Structure 1
Amino acid sequence: MAFRKIEYLLIAAFLVLNVFLVFVFVGKNALLFSSPIDQSRVDVQQEMRDNDIQFMTPEDKVREEPFIRALMQEFNEKDIEPLAENTYDIDLSNRSRLIGTLNNPLTLKQINKDTQAKNLSDDALKPLDDWIGEHVYQGDQYRFVAYDNNQRMITYMQESRTDLPIVDGTGELVFNLNDDYNVEMFNQTYAGETKAQGEKRQLVSEKQALENLYLNNKIQKGDKVVYEFLGYYQTLKVDNMKIYNPTWVFFIQNGDGVFERLHVDGVNGTIVQDKVS
């Protein structure tokens, strides 16, 4: 009798185990063959707006641009001194960066504490544009791109031969304003003469680049996208030559008014980790 009882218990245990394995098998296959979520149906931009992120509707058109190259170039005092004479003091302790301190602040009458980042008119910048043309090395190669009213900084970037700016800081002209919102000093870097390198390549769209930043948590709730455009970012240096990739740049302002510059590789859509200076 005891043997029969044990036999029945073993049979019951095997039946329970088989039923359990059937449920596991069915469950796994249900997961395996169920329809995947179509991420293309997720409205990323609407989700951003729901998170109080401010931005202009980005373009979704495909663009093509080549890489560019430039030869390393340092500042030379003999090129700078005639431009700076009686106008600003020169600091060339780092030959790749020029720091100029103006003898007399440059007045910008239309800029004050209430001037917002995107509200700088051509008229407001005209005194500075004229000054750049007269006193800055290769000044005609730089154009205005951004104003940070929190840090009181006006940024110009060097244009490449393809008319797109250098966005990684190696070709940049940054003016610092004093408490009266007049220019008192500037920092300049110069990438050198640029040339197209190779054939044009198809790039990710501005829309893809913006959404990549959001989906990777680089743009947070309450942020504002103030400026966005395509430029070039240095990705390789071989001897005295630098290679630049087409790169999307976004100027993001958080709720405290602080600006951050984010970059997305234009060729593969990956987020560029900024170089440590």
Structure 2
Amino acid sequence: MDFKKIENIFLLAFVFLNVYLLVGYINRTGMQYANSPSEQINIIRDMRDIGIQIPGNLSDEKLNVYYMQANSNNLIQDNINSLENQAGSVTSDGTLYTSILSEPIEIEGDPSEGVTDQQLAKLQSFVNSSSILFGDQYEFLRYDNEENRFIFSQIVNDRPVGDGTSEISFYYGRSDGNIISYQQTYAGPMQQQGDSVEVISAKEAVEFLFQSNELSSNAVVSTPILTYQRTLALEDLSIYGPAWLVPITESNESRVLRVNAKDRTMITDPAESNEVTPEPAVDAEDEPDEEEDIEPDQG
């Protein structure tokens, strides 16, 4: 028996086996690399290469968030008589209150050039006063350059309701720098539903917008905000789920993109966002129509 020949055969077999295992390992490593942070960095780099401006502090942390339930209510309608220093009207369904202030709120500086701490402190003080219903539940969300309004949102589980169904909009007058009116919606108290769910990170939300061709070159992306969005509206209750709100500026025009933070899908249909369309701010010289449902000045 030629033991030397047998030894060589076994040696070649082991060599081929090791080569096979090495190739398999390299292929698996390549697949993992495709989903590694390095690829994410490359996506961000590609965005910057075509002129898209992205915040440098985009978080890649994946948070756990609960779905929330809000029961239908008439809390605005039932409490508007307690408001002071204003006259206002509420829509027939009781969900939107529009106020005309008896004393304007004077704002120093132009918020379109950047909202200042002084402006926010003044408005937050008003929100927390007896002139606003449930004001202690609202915090500043963003400034809407297109509508010239400061938006304060109801905070639920440390997250703002960002779809317009529970917010206060203060309308800024560019001509005089005063705020003479506001609108309010209020979803009411909310309760957690089921177990928490893991959501995509802020970085993943921006990358998804880029990969979905939602961002043009030279777009300016502001810091994404993890918000609650109404996902189901029934007669007796509404369900709110997590959504990334991403403010975008393109060609000096501002808009907001929304990404479902659980399913990584675009929220594009206005009916899905359930956002209340703001009415034009009331001019100081305009008098309320006698046929409107106006509450008397409580101040």
Give RMSD over aligned pairs: 2.2
Task: Give the paired residue count.
Answer: 234
How do 1:202-221 residues align onto structure 2 when only pairs under 5 Å count?
202-221=198-217
- Structure 2 runs not aligned, ≥5 long: 1-29, 275-299
Q: Report the CA distance shift for 1:242/1:150 in structure 2 as closer, same or farther (over 3 A).
A: closer
How far apart in 1 are the matches of 2:223 and 2:99? 26
Structure 1 length normalisation: TM-score? 0.77
How far apart in 2 are the matches of 1:136 and 1:77? 13
What is residue 62 of structure 2 aligned with on the other side?
Answer: 62
The answer to whether the 8 Å contact 2:101/2:181 transfers is yes
After TM superposition, the runs of 4+ consecutive aligned structure 1 residues lying more than 6 A away are: none
What is residue 272 of structure 1 aligned with on the other side?
Answer: 267
Structure 2 length normalisation: TM-score? 0.72
What is residue 183 of structure 1 aligned with on the other side?
Answer: 179
What is residue 28 of structure 1 aligned with on the other side?
Answer: none
The answer to whether the 8 Å contact 1:227/1:252 transfers is no
Per-residue CA distance 1:21-72 (angstroms, 9 max, x = gap) = xxxxxxxxxxxxxx99x86547221121122221213211121111111112
Is 68-77 or 178-187 further displaced after alignment?
A: 68-77
The one-letter code matched in structure 1 to 2:118 is D
What is residue 200 of structure 1 aligned with on the other side?
Answer: 196
The 3-state SS of whatever aligns with 2:224 is: strand
Q: Report the CA distance shift for 1:126/1:158 in structure 2 as closer, same or farther (over 3 A).
A: same
The one-letter code matched in structure 1 to 2:128 is G
Percent sequence identity is: 26
Per-residue CA distance 1:110-156 (angstroms, 9 max, x = gap) = x227x52xx32332222211111111110111100111345421111
The answer to whether the 8 Å contact 1:176/1:183 transfers is yes
Is 71-80 or 174-183 further displaced after alignment?
A: 71-80
Q: Cα distance, 1:273 vs. partner?
A: 2.1
The answer to whether the 8 Å contact 1:143/1:156 transfers is yes
Does residue 232 of the first structure (1) align with residue 231 of the second (2)? no
The 3-state SS of whatever aligns with 1:140 is: helix
How do 1:150-189 residues align onto structure 2 when only pairs under 5 Å count?
150-160=146-156, 162-178=157-173, 179-189=175-185
The 3-state SS of whatever aligns with 1:239 is: coil
The answer to whether the 8 Å contact 1:75/1:98 transfers is no
Query: Of the candidates 209, 219, 222, which is equivalent to residue 223 of structure 1?
Result: 219
How far apart in 1 are the matches of 2:172 and 2:160? 23
How far apart in 2 are the matches of 1:210 and 1:185? 34
How far apart in 2 are the matches of 1:79 and 1:205? 39
How far apart in 1 are the matches of 2:269 and 2:166? 15
Does residue 147 of the first structure (1) align with residue 143 of the second (2)? yes
Query: Of the candidates 74, 89, 102, which is equivalent to residue 91 of structure 1?
Result: 89
- Structure 1 runs not aligned, ≥5 long: 1-34
The answer to whether the 8 Å contact 1:146/1:227 transfers is no
Per-residue CA distance 1:211-265 (angstroms, 9 max, x = gap) = 1111112222222122421111111123311111111111112222x22111111
How far apart in 2 are the matches of 1:145 and 1:172? 9
Does residue 105 of the first structure (1) align with residue 99 of the second (2)? no
The answer to whether the 8 Å contact 1:164/1:231 transfers is yes
Query: Of the candidates 110, 114, 126, which is equivalent to residue 131 of structure 1?
Result: 126
What is residue 52 of structure 1 aligned with on the other side?
Answer: 51
Instruction: Report the structure number with the largest CA radius of gyration.
Output: 1
The one-letter code matched in structure 2 to 1:89 is A
Q: Report the CA distance shift for 1:71/1:268 in structure 2 as closer, same or farther (over 3 A).
A: same
Q: Report the CA distance shift for 1:261/1:150 in structure 2 as closer, same or farther (over 3 A).
A: closer
What is residue 16 of structure 2 aligned with on the other side?
Answer: none
Q: Report the CA distance shift for 1:148/1:93 in structure 2 as closer, same or farther (over 3 A).
A: closer
The answer to whether the 8 Å contact 1:153/1:176 transfers is yes
Does residue 261 of the first structure (1) align with residue 261 of the second (2)? no
